[in-house]
Amino acid sequence: METAADLVAAEDVLLFVNAALTATGQREFHAEAGRQRLSLDFLHSYMLGNYRELYSGVLALGVNDHNAAMIVHRLLATGAEATPEQRRAEGPLIARRLATLPPQRVYRLFRRLRADKVNNRRTRRIMRDWLAARPDPAFDAVKYRAGLKATLRHAHLPPRDPEVGTFLFSPGGRGRYSTPLLDAWRRAHYEQAALYELPYTVAEGFAAKHRVPRKVFLERIAPRMTRAEGQRMRETAVRSGAPIPAPDLSAMPLTRLAAYVLSLSLDDRAGRRTELTCALRAAALRVAGERAGTWGEVAAVLDDSFSSYGSGEKRRRPLAVALAAHHLLEALAVKYTPLWTSGREDALLVHPYGTTPLGRRILDALEHGPQRLVIVSDGWDNAPAGLAAEVLRIWRTRLDPHHRTRVVHLNPVYDAAGFDVRRLSPSVPTAGVRDAEDLPALVELARFAEGGTGLAELTAYLAERAARMLAGPGSMR
């Protein structure tokens, strides 16, 4: 039988999961970055101190990279406080989650562990195994030189390739390198053409040294850019006049594709309507997979109010999540009714504008009698304030007490003041969301926030997710 303490523990875990999915320590529309970092730091300390097994298990829930790195750091730094059973359970989860993180973030984590003098046997083994799995030591030596050097020194590891070791620790010891990438780095010191054989972030420094015009550099280095680098550089390219090739939309993840679409002007979106719409629908179908067309009648209330702009650091991120969720729900549903808070009907041309009349749009959605209602919003209902909560309360207690319509609120914005994502109503489960690709799993997770789910059921769910993560390839989505 669940005790009151168990119910409190389950609520604490769900609160932390919402934060770990959405918060990145960056500025949001309604909160400064410093406040976010303090709030998030407290939650991590609280969870680690009170629920260590559940804290490590959250790694299996697809939390964002920022929080995954924080969890790994704290688990490794406090290994002496863990029991042998806890350390055995944590090790595989840490290793698997590190394998899904961007390498620059992992190297940053390793350098922080070194700065904090975390050098236990488990930490060194995890560093060794992660480095052994890296596909190209020469690439890491060139692009992540400082991080790789610090990791090798901290873990007392020899480089896999002796030539890489020479490059890292005594670069002047060779006149030439047999590895093409290493030799390109050597030649780039005095030969402009060689810098275009290097990764973009490394070549950028050499371009400045050789005084290469920005327009020329961006045009010639474009084939060496990663997808994320290319997306970040497009706005710079427009200002400099450099022709950067358009991205391959067919390979873009759904939420990133939505962010790219929103970065275009309204005229560009209208002119490329067929191309962009087809790409978004194809990406949504890839995410839906076998679940496509299995959710019955679905209505969605999607927030495109002014606050969906986000912040300078997370520009249009909340709106990108809403746009991606719109296309994913369209793929999952048999019959789909989207309702944007602005009243717009053309999803491709949405942009942050106006107030947030969530209550009115929820009323419109419930009139259709859907089997599911999904609300994607930061939860700041202000036109009029509080109407959404009252609509949902009356709907749940008087009009639909048997839950014929399943309602869930997905919030892409962390509320630092409340240590959680902002909720619309106590009667409706709320889950934090970082990427729309996680939507099906988050709708499943949100049920734990409804009806006072106990700790045993939540613990079993975390264990099942951990087993799936360790058994299957790639990240859990």
Tokens at 144, concatenated: 């992540």
Cis upstream peptide for 159 (omega within 30°): no
Catalogue all structural domains in the chain, each as residue range(s) with its CATH number.
Answer: 188-245 (no CATH), 254-450 (3.40.50.280)
pLDDT tens for residues 220-259? 888 888 777 776 666 555 445 555 566 778 888 999 999 9
130 Cβ partners below 8 Å, 6+ apart?
95, 98, 99, 106
- Between the CA of residue 183 and those of 146, 170, 203, what are the distances in Å? 18, 14, 13
Strand segments (E) across 62-186:
none
The proportion of the chain whose per-residue pLDDT surpasses 70, expressed as a percent, equals 91
pLDDT of residue 122 exceeding 90, the answer is: yes
Beta bridge partners of 297: 335
Query: Which amino acid would we find at residue 174?
Result: R
Element (H, E) at 282: helix 273-288
337 Cβ partners below 8 Å, 6+ apart?
297, 298, 299, 300, 365, 368, 370
Coil, strand or helix at 301: strand
Note whether 214 and 199 are within 8 A (CB).
no
Note whether 375 and 409 are within 8 A (CB).
yes
- Between the CA of residue 411 and those of 70, 348, 380, what are the distances in Å? 22, 21, 10
pLDDT of residue 473 exceeding 70, the answer is: no
pLDDT of residue 369 exceeding 50, the answer is: yes
pLDDT of residue 310 exceeding 60, the answer is: yes
DSSP string, 95-123: HHHHHHS-HHHHHHHHHHHHHTT---HHH
Higher local confidence (pLDDT), 98 or 402: 98
Tokens at 152, concatenated: 């090798």
